[in-house]
């Protein structure tokens, strides 16, 4: 039975902290016009594949179980690497930080819905309550304690894109808990991740082709751009995805989804630190609500 312990908690917090860094780096790169959104995703995962290749190259051997499960990994690559990241970077072009992260905070709700519809996992009342409590914490940090700000929010194309990205990530997380073959859990972690990255890179490259044909692809190489791209290729890609996989298998996809709500909190704290601003009271209040939502949702009914 999935269980939330200290190790699992550390894995999930590490992944969300790195993805908060990815959100900041992505905004900087896309908003500054240094690189186009889908090209950023392609370059990011291309570098990640090269870094991982010395450890995971055996997954491409003719006898590898990858080829038996190729349809499964094409879907994992589509939902977890290809679509999610491309949609996230595209959303950052037109949507505000508040909208993107607030809509992304609906992930626990989508996780409960997909589990019920596709995996016959009926959501518990405490999970629904936890989702609401955790979402309230996200709203606090994104509005800096002024919830009336939500009334002035306006929907744009980027909001729809991040909603679609959130749904694909929920599908990806559920698929991680349902191995395609009996021995998949015995794969070396590098080979399992390499299979996902490779499949995702195929999808991302396919999507990038449309950006190139449309004349919307661009890349400005300088020390700052290269540094940020290397960061997103190593931290938010390889390390975070490895940690998320361990966390999802340890806590289950529904409980793990609540940890995604730490992303906007970490993003706000990291941004404030970069500007030399100390954490505010509303950061602590938001943290309390998010943690409370996780505790409530992870409680196991006894008897």
Q: What is the CA radius of gyration of the chain?
A: 19
Annotate 156-185 with b (16+ C-beta within 10 A) or e (fewer): eebbebbbbbbbbbbbbbbbbbebbeeeee
Q: Which residue has the higher pLDDT, 303 or 232?
A: 232
Model pLDDT for residues 206-251, shown as the tens digit of each residue:
999 999 999 999 999 889 899 999 999 999 999 999 999 899 888 8
Q: Which residue has the higher pLDDT, 103 or 166?
A: 166
Give the whole-number percent of the chain exceeding pLDDT 90.
Answer: 32
* Residue 45 pLDDT > 50: yes
Average the pLDDT over each of 93-97, 273-277, 289-293, 299-303 and give the range with the smallest value. 299-303
In angstroms, rounded to a whole number, what is the distance separating the alpha carbons of residues 61 and 267? 40
* Residue 289 pLDDT > 70: yes
Kindly report the pTM of this predicted structure. Answer: 0.80
Q: Model confidence at 302, in pLDDT bands (50, 70, 90)? A: very low
* Residue 57 pLDDT > 90: yes
Q: List the domain boundaries for the chain.
A: 6-298
Sign of CA dihedral 157, 163, 164, 166: positive
């Amino acid at each position: 039975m999935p269980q939330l312990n200290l190790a699992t908690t550390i894995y999930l917090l590490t992944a969300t902290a790195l993805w908060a860094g990815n959100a900041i780096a992505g905004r900087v790169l896309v908003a500054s016009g240094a690189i186009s959104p889908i090209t950023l995703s392609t370059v990011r995962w291309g570098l990640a594949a090269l870094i991982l290749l010395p450890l995971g190259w055996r997954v491409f051997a003719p006898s590898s179980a990858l080829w038996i499960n190729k349809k499964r990994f094409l879907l994992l690559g589509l939902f977890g690497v290809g679509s999610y990241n491309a949609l996230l970077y595209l959303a950052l072009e037109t949507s505000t930080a508040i909208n993107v992260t607030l809509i992304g905070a609906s992930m626990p709700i989508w996780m409960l819905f997909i589990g019920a519809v596709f995996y016959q996992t009926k959501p518990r009342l405490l999970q629904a309550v936890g989702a609401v409590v955790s979402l309230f914490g996200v709203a606090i940090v994104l509005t800096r304690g002024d919830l009336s700000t939500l009334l002035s929010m306006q929907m744009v194309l980027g909001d729809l894109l991040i909603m679609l990205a959130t749904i694909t990530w929920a599908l990806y997380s559920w698929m991680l808990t349902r191995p395609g073959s009996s021995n998949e859990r015995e794969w070396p972690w590098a080979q399992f991740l390499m299979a996902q990255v490779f499949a995702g890179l195929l999808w991302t490259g396919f999507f990038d082709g449309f950006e190139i044909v449309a004349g919307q692809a661009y890349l400005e190489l300088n020390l700052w751009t290269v540094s940020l791209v290397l960061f997103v290729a190593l931290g938010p890609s390889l390390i975070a995805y490895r940690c998320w996989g361990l966390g999802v298998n340890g806590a289950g996809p529904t409980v793990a989804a609540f940890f995604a709500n730490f992303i906007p909190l970490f993003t706000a704290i990291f941004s404030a630190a970069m500007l030399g601003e100390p954490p505010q009271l509303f950061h602590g209040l938001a943290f309390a609500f998010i943690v409370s939502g996780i505790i409530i949702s992870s409680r196991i009914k006894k008897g």
